[in-house]
Structure 1
Amino acid sequence: MFVRRQTELPNMTMMDSANWTSDMTNATAGHPCQGTKLEVFSLQFVCDVIIATPLVILGIFANAVAFIVLCRQKNRMTTTVLLQALAVCDTLVLVSILLLRCLVNIHLLAGTDTLTTYINVYYAGVFVYLFPVMYFLRLADTWLTTLLTIDRYIAVCHPLHVHRLCTLPRAYKNMAIVTALALVFSAPRFFERRLADTCFRFGPTSLLRNHTYTIAYQVVLFSIVMYIVPMSLLVGMNGRLLWELRRANNFRATLPMTSQTGRQMMSTKKSITLIVVAVVVVCIACNLTAVVSHLFWSLATCFPSFMYLEVPRRRLAHVSNVMVTLNSAVNFFIYCLFSRNFRTEFVRVFCCRRLRRSYGASTVSGRSAEATQLSSMCSACGKRSSAASANSVICRTCSLRTSGLASFQQSAKNKNGARYERARC
Structure 2
Amino acid sequence: MVTQGDVNYVRQIVQGILVPCVVVIGLLGNSVSIVVLTRKRMHSTTNIYLAALAVTDVIYLTTVLFLSMEHYDTVHLNYEIYWKVYGLVIWLSDGCAYISIYIAVCFTIERFVAIRYPLKRQTFCTDSLAKRVIAGVAIFCLLSTITTAFEHKAESVQKLMDNTGKWCDEAILPSSFVNTIQIQENIPNNESQIENSVGTFAQSWQNNNNVTTDHYNSTENHHCHNVTFYQHGSSSLSANETYIKYFFFFTSTVFVFIPLTILATFNFILIVLVRRSKHRRGEMTNASVRRSTIRKSSNSVSQENRVTVTLIAVVISFIICQLPWAIYLIVAEIIQIENNLRTIIGNIFNLLVALNAASNFFLYCVLSDKYRKTVKELIVGYKYKKRNMSTSTSYAPSTRRYRPALQMKKSNP
Calculate the TM-score normalised by the size of structure 2.
0.69
The answer to whether structure 1 residue 69 and structure 2 residue 36 are counterparts is yes
> What SS class does the counterpart of residue 207 from structure 1 fall into?
coil
> What SS class does the counterpart of residue 209 from structure 1 fall into?
coil
CA distance in structure 2 between the aligned counterparts of 1:285 and 1:332, rounded to whole angstroms? 17
CA 1:179–1:307 in 2, change beyond 3 Å: closer, same or farther?
Answer: same
> What SS class does the counterpart of residue 230 from structure 2 fall into?
coil
CA 1:75–1:53 in 2, change beyond 3 Å: closer, same or farther?
Answer: closer
Aligned length: 310
CA 1:249–1:214 in 2, change beyond 3 Å: closer, same or farther?
Answer: same
Partner of residue 236 from structure 1, selected from 247, 259, 265? 265
CA RMSD of aligned residues (A): 2.7
**1:187 is aligned with what amino acid?**
I
> What SS class does the counterpart of residue 307 from structure 1 fall into?
coil
CA 1:117–1:171 in 2, change beyond 3 Å: closer, same or farther?
Answer: closer
Match of 1:83 in 2: 50
Match of 1:269 in 2: 304
1:207: Cα distance to partner?
Answer: 1.9
> What SS class does the counterpart of residue 206 from structure 1 fall into?
coil
CA 1:307–1:63 in 2, change beyond 3 Å: closer, same or farther?
Answer: same
Match of 2:173 in 1: none
Match of 2:60 in 1: 93
CA distance in structure 1 between the aligned counterparts of 2:17 and 2:30, rounded to whole angstroms? 21
> What SS class does the counterpart of residue 195 from structure 1 fall into?
strand
1:322: Cα distance to partner?
Answer: 1.1
Q: Where do residues 44-63 of structure 1 align in structure 2 (5 Å cutoff)?
A: 44-63=11-30
CA 1:87–1:332 in 2, change beyond 3 Å: closer, same or farther?
Answer: same
CA distance in structure 2 between the aligned counterparts of 1:262 and 1:184, rounded to whole angstroms? 45
CA distance in structure 2 between the aligned counterparts of 1:159 and 1:149, rounded to whole angstroms? 15
CA 1:323–1:254 in 2, change beyond 3 Å: closer, same or farther?
Answer: same
Over the matched positions of the two proteins, sequence identity in percent amounts to 23
CA distance in structure 2 between the aligned counterparts of 1:54 and 1:328, rounded to whole angstroms? 13
Contact preservation (8 Å) 1:56, 1:95:
yes
Q: Where do residues 55-204 of structure 1 align in structure 2 (5 Å cutoff)?
A: 55-74=22-41, 76-101=43-68, 103-105=69-71, 107=72, 115=74, 117-118=76-77, 121=80, 123-196=82-155, 200-204=230-234
CA 1:250–1:309 in 2, change beyond 3 Å: closer, same or farther?
Answer: farther
1:195: Cα distance to partner?
Answer: 2.6
Contact preservation (8 Å) 2:83, 2:153:
no
Contact preservation (8 Å) 1:143, 1:178:
yes
The answer to whether structure 1 residue 307 and structure 2 residue 343 are counterparts is no
CA 1:186–1:227 in 2, change beyond 3 Å: closer, same or farther?
Answer: same
Contact preservation (8 Å) 1:297, 1:310:
no
Match of 2:409 in 1: none
> What SS class does the counterpart of residue 208 from structure 1 fall into?
coil
Residue segments in structure 1 that go unaligned for 5+ positions in a row? 1-20, 23-35, 108-112, 300-305, 360-425
CA distance in structure 2 between the aligned counterparts of 1:344 and 1:150, rounded to whole angstroms? 27
CA distance in structure 1 between the aligned counterparts of 2:29 and 2:316, rounded to whole angstroms? 19
CA distance in structure 2 between the aligned counterparts of 1:39 and 1:212, rounded to whole angstroms? 30
Match of 2:361 in 1: 332
CA distance in structure 2 between the aligned counterparts of 1:356 and 1:295, rounded to whole angstroms? 56
Partner of residue 208 from structure 1, selected from 238, 243, 247? 238
Calculate the TM-score normalised by the size of structure 1.
0.67
**1:98 is aligned with what amino acid?**
L
CA distance in structure 2 between the aligned counterparts of 1:98 and 1:280, rounded to whole angstroms? 24
> What SS class does the counterpart of residue 43 from structure 2 fall into?
coil
